[in-house]
Structure 1
């Protein structure tokens, strides 16, 4: 079969594999540390017994004494300990100014590349070949074990000066162990969400339509995690862990539990000051997966984490009905007048993870029309002629509440507007998907789209009719040009 056969296609059932969950539970960092300490404790006990040393370091055991009584340190032992301490104090190392030591420490704990899955064991299958080489000697982490002062100062440099990529929601969950004083200073993180597929029949055709790195191919051979056929009533066949994985990632961003937190105040989120989030979806084919998220996605994006970001970057969103629904759900994470950037896939995973060529973004200003709606409502109230209100789109419930989250403030240094009537908004947009440089782009507040270059200087495009915000179907104010945002 040279091309993907859609007629004989059976979609994978969305369900996280139980064996993968059991392995993740076993490899939890806290449990790993407990096992390591227990094994080390047993080794130390054995060494003490073999050498006749008591648990109390001030006493020793006399192995020849049949009564098993404990003796005390001899005078010779005390004298040798005092002499060793004095010798160590005399061997002084050359001292450096504190400022120089801090500069060395900061340089050693700052990486030129993003740190992938901190506090967790790296999975080589989620790394590109270049990332595997970089991750070995990325920072001098052993500096933190030198002394308490270096540990305190180095930890601050580590979490402040580096950028982080999370490829598993459990590695993101492990970040809860980092102190709030460090987490609250993080403004941007990246989630690399790689779709996982499981099957107990490896003879099945596992190809999906996907814009791969090879332009001659119209499909991608998915990487399948083999499963053993179980003689139970558990669901067999083709499984996937895709949309639910996105929900699990977002769920970790909710406020973690802190026993020392003041119970009279709300608990802060995992990253209280997070402003920008990038989500790289890997191997999410178009028209291939079952419906995304369900009520869990809407509950997180539209309620628990709603209006919390200034900018959201999404790559690899499927170009299909389910991809559009997921995009509209995730857009609720962005505050009014925020920026949503969408692009083609950054990575593709077949036999290994590969990075695709750099492309441009598709920018959009989120709910920029609400400023116009507020102004229109105020003008109508002055006239006392209507009882209009701002509502959601057709088929969606409204999100009302007593908390008013302010819109994203305008960026400083924006160019001057050349329009007399048309209402616009300036935003700084990255040049390309992987570029750190940005350029100024002017957005139409009514549509939320960038203004094409050919419309500049045309007086016919310098128009704005506020009455267009009022829907003639429901008599409510919303953007009539876009049903997704």
Structure 2
């Protein structure tokens, strides 16, 4: 059995300075500056000054300005003379149908507005044509551009493999960003080392312990004889933090300062996070301060559903899951599964797996009902906390409504047991969903054998009162 050397968690300096240099605004400024130099050179070679005040006499009708106007009028009259050769016009409705079809992709669009990184793509994604959509439609005219942009951002799904690609969405107008309700984050762990010949292996990132160790793809770095951190490093948990940080409200100079700034994706309801190459008991401990500030405060209770794959089956993975689930509202859905992807010399997709669904904080409805009944009975009530072991709750100051019940849900067969219905995917990579009934006390799905046992039709609200702290919370799991 090989000895696994754990890496040190750190943001890579070289990638940070490269990201600063390739900032979209800075790239655009460089492009415009180079274009101005080329145009000035072209004018200079033809003996024309780049300052129009030195070349044009605005009062001279025979000058170049008048000739340009005459030529434009001639072109206009020429077009009017052959109007019978114009293409047949189409109704506006037909044009919009064509535009919507041309700008809707059958596959998710990966890292829109950004350059693709081939090291995080599947082989079929590399072969996929970049022309997934007829993007040139947007350059036809202003009307097609305005209408097509709405179809582009509303009708497609998006996968982000780099937090900088998600950050580029800040350049997109709010009217388009607020149409996006679901995104996928594919976060691939990055490893670095100055020793080019050293090989690193880690436990296979799956719950199957019989798999051979995984050979990690290590990004080489030139040895620097300084006191900077060297050796085997990783960018994993901090990468998750950076992805979530981008979802915070971006700055908008035109925003009304009397109103709170909206998040990057204000209408985001569902989020899927695929963690790639996050092995169990291999990575160093994540920083709880940054994650708590993001998931427990800035992005707290903002989602209806969170899908998480590839979370390590270890203490650090469990802690990270407990942080991420705080982004889900009460009565929301949390889905967890094995790794979807694994990366060594290339990215490979694992066989389809099953979800472990949980209803998030479904017990709170029962606790509030019990508190009200106790208050009416004896005028006193018990405090309601967020979890065991001193975990505090931030949800008492602001009342965020729970996820509403889905339409068309079946009728329950239980008389006393308190449940709720949710639509869950049949498998990890399937779009098909089926109804599932959850126990509000535990947050888990009711199994088929439980329906056959009438003794399971019980509900005791006293179970919500902790005998240690005398506070009301879920007695089964701190995170749900």
Task: Provide TM-score, normalisation by structure 2.
Answer: 0.94
**TM-superposition CA deviations, 1:184-225 (whole Å, max 9, x none):** 111101111111100111333410001469996331111100
1:333 correspondence with 2:327: yes
Summarize the Cα distance change of 1:45–1:433 in structure 2 as closer, same or farther, 3 Å threshold: same
1:347 counterpart = 2:341? yes
Shift of 1:84: 2.7
Instruction: Give the CA deviation at 1:79.
Output: 4.0
1:95 deviates by: 1.9
Q: Provide the rounded CA distance (Å) in 2 between the counterparts of 1:25 and 1:135.
A: 29
- 1:90-137 C-alpha deviation (Å, 9 max, x unpaired): 453332221111111111111000001111111111111111122422
State whether structure 2 residue 10 is matched by structure 1 residue 19: no
Among 275, 278, 282, the residue aligned to 2:269: 275
1:249 offset after TM fit, Å?
0.6
- Structure 1 residue aligned with 2:291: 297
**For this pair of structures, how many residues does the alignment match?**
474
**Which aligned pairs between 1:433-448 and structure 2 lie closer than 5 A?**
433-448=428-443
Aligned to 1:66: none
Matched, 1:97 2:95: no
Counterpart for residue 76 of structure 2: 85
1:99-118 aligned at under 5 Å gives the runs 99-118=93-112
| Gap change, CA 1:77 and 1:31, over 3 Å in 2 | closer
TM-score normalised by L of structure 1: 0.93
Paired residues of 1:373 and 1:477 also in contact (CA < 8 A): yes
1:422 matched residue in structure 2: 417
Give the Å deviation of 1:53. 3.3
Deviation of 1:52 (Å): 2.9
- CA 75–474 in structure 1, closer or farther in 2 if over 3 Å, else same: closer
Give matches, 1:160-199, under 5 Å: 160-199=154-193
Tell me whether 1:458 sits opposite 2:457 in the alignment: no
Q: Distance in 1 between matches of 2:208 and 2:300?
A: 38
Structure 2 SS opposite 1:409: coil
Give distance in 2, aligned partners of 1:346 and 1:340.
16
1:246 aligns with 2:244: no
Q: What is the distance in 2 between the residues matched to 1:231 and 1:223? A: 24
Compare 278-287 and 44-53 and name the one that shifted more: 44-53
Report the Cα distance in structure 2 between the residues aligned to 1:473 and 1:42, rounded to whole angstroms: 74
1:219 is aligned to 213
> 2: CA distance between counterparts of 1:74 and 1:370?
75
Equivalence for 1:38: 33
Indicate if the aligned counterparts of 2:205 and 2:277 stay in contact, CA closer than 8 A: no
CA contact (8 A) 1:339 1:364 kept: yes
Q: Counterpart of 1:150 in 2: which secondary structure?
A: helix
Distance 1:208 1:355 in 2: 18
Q: 1:78 to 1:472 in 2, by over 3 A?
A: closer
Q: Distance in 1 between matches of 2:28 and 2:187?
A: 27
Q: Cα distance 1:223–1:57, how it changes in 2: closer, same or farther (>3 A)?
A: same
Question: Could you tell me which residue of structure 1 aligns to residue 251 of structure 2?
Answer: 257
Partner of 2:123: 129
Q: Distance in 2 between matches of 1:75 and 1:469?
A: 86
- Any stretches of 5+ residues in structure 2 without a counterpart? none
Question: Which position in structure 2 is the counterpart of 1:72?
Answer: 63
Cα pair 1:60 1:72 within 8 Å, conserved: no
State the alpha-carbon separation in 1 of the partners of residues 163 and 319 from structure 2.
Answer: 22
Structure 2 counterpart of 1:310, from 290, 295, 304 = 304
CA contact (8 A) 2:205 2:278 kept: no
Q: Per-residue CA shift, 1:274-298, capped at 9, x if unaligned?
A: 1100000000000000112320001
Moved more, 327-336 or 75-84: 75-84
Structure 1 unmatched ranges of 5 or more:
63-68
Deviation per residue, 1:13-40 (Å, 9 max, x gap):
1101100111111112221121111111
List per-residue Cα deviations over 1:410-451 (Å, max 9, x = no partner).
111111000001011110000111100000011110000001
The 3 A distance-change label for structure 1 pair 76 and 152 is closer
The answer (yes or no) to whether the contact 1:212–1:348 under 8 Å persists in 2 is: no
